[in-house]
Amino acid sequence: MKGNNSVKISILFFLNFFFATIFFSSCTIVQKYQKNVPFIFKNNIKLKADDVSKDEKASIKSKLATQLDDSAKVMVKDKFFIFHYLPNPPVFDTNAVAQSAANMTVALQNLGFYRPDISYSFDTVTRKKNQERVTVTYNVDAGKRTMIDTLAYLFTKPQLEELAVSTKKESLLQPNTPITKSGILQETNRLVNLYKNNGYYKFTADEIRVTGDTTIAALTSVSEDPFEQLRLLAEANEQRKNPKIRLGFQLNNLPDSSNLQKYYINDIYVLPDYVPGEEYTDSNLQVRTFKNYTAKYHRKLFKFSLLRRNIAIKKRKRISPG
C-alpha cells in the first residue's frame, strides 16, 4: 500500500509541476509601467505572401519584426525558460505604429515586393493594477514579387561589356528570380571587382547606373479593333498579376573618363632592407636591374633569384588588386 501511495504522490507532484509550468510559461509579468496609460503588450505580424516557401516566409516575417519602430518594440525577458517579464513597456503611440508599417513597406520593397498592402489594428485589454494592455496586429499582404525578365549590360565601352557578358552566369540576378536591392548592390560590387581585376584600376560603383523597364507593351499599343483592345487589356492585367522587370547596367555619364582607362604595370622596384620614410629614388641606394624588376638596397641580404621566383606581377601586365 505504501508503494502505491508513493506512486500516487509522485504522479500528483509531476502533474502539479507540469500545469504550473504551463501556467507560468503563458504568463507575462509587466513591470514599471505607467498606470492607466495604454502600453504595447504584444505585436502580432500576420503575413500573406504568395509563391514563397515556408522557410522563406518565416525569414520574411522575422525581417518584418526587426522593422518595428523603437517606440513600438516589446522587449520580453525570460528567466529559467518559464518566467516572462516585460519591463518598461512602450507607451502606445499610433505614430510609432504607423512608422513601423512604413518601415515594413520599405523592407518588402527591398525584397522585391513593390506593391505591399499593410494595415494594422489594436486590441486593448484592461487588467488589474490599472494595466491598459494593447496588442497591435499588422496585417501584411506582400503582394506579387517582381521577377527579373531579362538582364542586359549596355556599356558603351566594348571591353567592359564583353567582360560583363562573359561572366553573366556568376551574377545573382538571373531571369525568373526576384529583383531585390541586395541583389543589385551585389551585382554592382561584382562588376566593380571584375573590372579592377582586369586593369581598370580606378573603376568604382559611381561609374555604374542601373535602369529598370517595367513598361507593359500591351498598354502602349493602339488598335481600332475593339476585340483586339480587350485582348491587350487582358494581357496587361495578366502581367500585373505576374510583374516582371527588364534590368540594364549602364555607364554613368561622368566627367572623369580616366576611371574607364585600363592601367598597366610599368616599373617594379624592390627595396629588401627598406627604412620607413625612405624614398626609392634615394641616390644612396645601390641599384641592380633585372628583366622584370629593379632592386634598390643598402646591403645585399640574400640572393636576388629568390625575389625573381616570388614576384608574381610582371611588367606591362594589367594592374590587378588581387
Cα distance between residue 256 and residue 204, in whole Å: 12
pLDDT digit of tens for each residue in the chain (322 aa)?
555 555 444 544 444 433 333 333 457 888 888 888 999 999 999 999 988 899 999 999 999 999 999 999 998 887 766 678 888 899 999 999 999 999 999 999 899 898 899 999 999 888 777 889 999 999 999 998 888 999 999 998 999 999 999 999 999 999 999 888 889 999 999 999 999 999 998 999 999 999 887 655 554 455 566 666 666 666 666 667 778 888 999 998 876 778 899 888 888 888 888 888 788 888 888 898 888 888 899 888 878 877 777 787 777 666 555 4
CB atoms within 10 A of CB 113: 24
C-alpha cell belonging to residue 263: 592601367
Q: For residue 178, give the C-alpha cell.
A: 526576384
Which has the closest alpha carbon to 176: 152, 151, 211, 154?
A: 151
Predicted TM-score (pTM) of this structure: 0.68
Per-residue pLDDT at 215: 57
| Domains observed in the chain | 2-141 (3.10.20.310), 147-260 (3.10.20.310), 269-310 (no CATH)
CA 264 to each of CA 254, 258, 267, 313, 318: distance values in angstroms, whole numbers, following the listed order: 23, 13, 10, 11, 4
Predicted pLDDT of residue 185 = 93
Cell numbers standing for residue 255 = 566627367
Cell numbers 507593351 label which residue? 217
